[in-house]
Structure 1
Amino acid sequence: MPQLSAITRFPVKGLGPDPLDQVQLMAGAALPLDRAWAIENGPSPFDDAAPGHLPKKHFLMLAGQSDLARLTCRHDAQGHSYSVSLDGADPVTVKLDDPATHLPLFDVLNALLGEAVRGPLRLVHAPGQAMTDIPQPQISLINAASVRELSDRIGQPLDPLRFRGNLLIDGLAPWEEFELIGQAIRIGGVKCRVESRIRRCVATSVNPDSAELDSNVPAALFEHYGHMDCGLYLTVLEDGLIALGDLVEIDASGSPA
């Protein structure tokens, strides 16, 4: 039976992963603190008085600034602090909820990205809204077997972190996850509805270890499978705790709604 083999959030959109052993999910919400902050790349329509979701083009992101993968990031959820280190240098640490501390982070990003920075940088946050690629409060799931098969097809190992999913499961056949769309599943004891496939962009071509664009993953998906999809979006239907090793199974209790 499939099992949950990794739980990952990305507290700041475009920056590094924060692996978890367990997490409390809330019905109708994204993974807690996943893409809770984003870095505005120059002026944008983001309104502090009415904060909400904006398209990713307004923010720093791997699809546009692949060098972001050179940063080693650490997140302290209890202290609301975030540390980044560029190529092994001494880290700088900021308080995500305190703009007065953000300048050292922006100095690192300006040095790293140069002309890719379009204007003043700003960390933005919309309470209750994850700055994911979609406005809906959903979580993302990746099937490790699908990534392994794609790796075999292109002759290059692909780290599942390329797909920046929240949940990684193992134990399904390659691409079997697509058969779950419209169904309810349980991860541990938590019921979720499988909503849709995730269409992939150039961000998946960035090697998370080297920051190099070393494989055109969307093109490889289309060449070998006739689509550019990898992973699923889920809606959480119940509050509950999930943890590494939890079983993943189809919920047979009735309607997924």
Structure 2
Amino acid sequence: MPADAEAPVVVDRRAGPHGEVVLRQHGPLLQIIANGTFLMDTSDGTSERLLVRAALEELRRGRRHREAHRAAPRLLIGGLGVGFSLAEAAAEPEWGRITVVEREEAVIHWHREGGPLSGLSAEALRDPRTEIVHADLTRYLRDCELFDALCLDIDNGPEWTVTEDNATLYSPAGLAACGARLAPGGVLAVWSAQASPTFGDALRNAGFQGVRTEEIPVARGVPDVVHFATKPA
């Protein structure tokens, strides 16, 4: 029987402050479902890895045009998910501190040693640069340290949020908070399940420059998208 014809099996189900979070197995794949909405699975990870890889390329490109050179760039990943973005970051020695902010305690638990998702993230979690923070990203951004890159993957996109309160992240005030937590020349990268032309306008209105989108083909359906923007140096 093909994997996609098998009935999904619930591995774990948790009730948290933001609703229900479920880890489900569908054939060989593990899937994260939040409040009945599919978020991600372990099928590919190309776009989640690109989120981090391309952000570093943007930083490199900007630094080639500036004389000043910082220490190893500091990265904040919004959303642990199944761990693809963290694994990509930890595999790159050029990154300095790697901070991952995840609001669902269940997701963090699934990645801990022996957890069902630990096979994807165990090596990255052992990396001394890695720090996992259990917090709501919108609140964390209010007074955290400065980062050189913010790579955000907490929703299915700016127009398709997991919970209503997440929409504040993509509002003018939320984008201003992102800009405030970026060092000059820093890069903001936002994952989305589909393109959002209006979000590009919102980024420009928030004072970001170099706004662009990159499409990543998927096996079925519309391409995933990563929105990129840079804080002026």
Scaled by the length of structure 1, the TM-score of the pair is: 0.27
Query: Which structure shows the higher helix fraction?
Result: 2
Answer 1 or 2: higher relative contact order, Cα 8 Å, separation at least 6: 1
Scaled by the length of structure 2, the TM-score of the pair is: 0.28
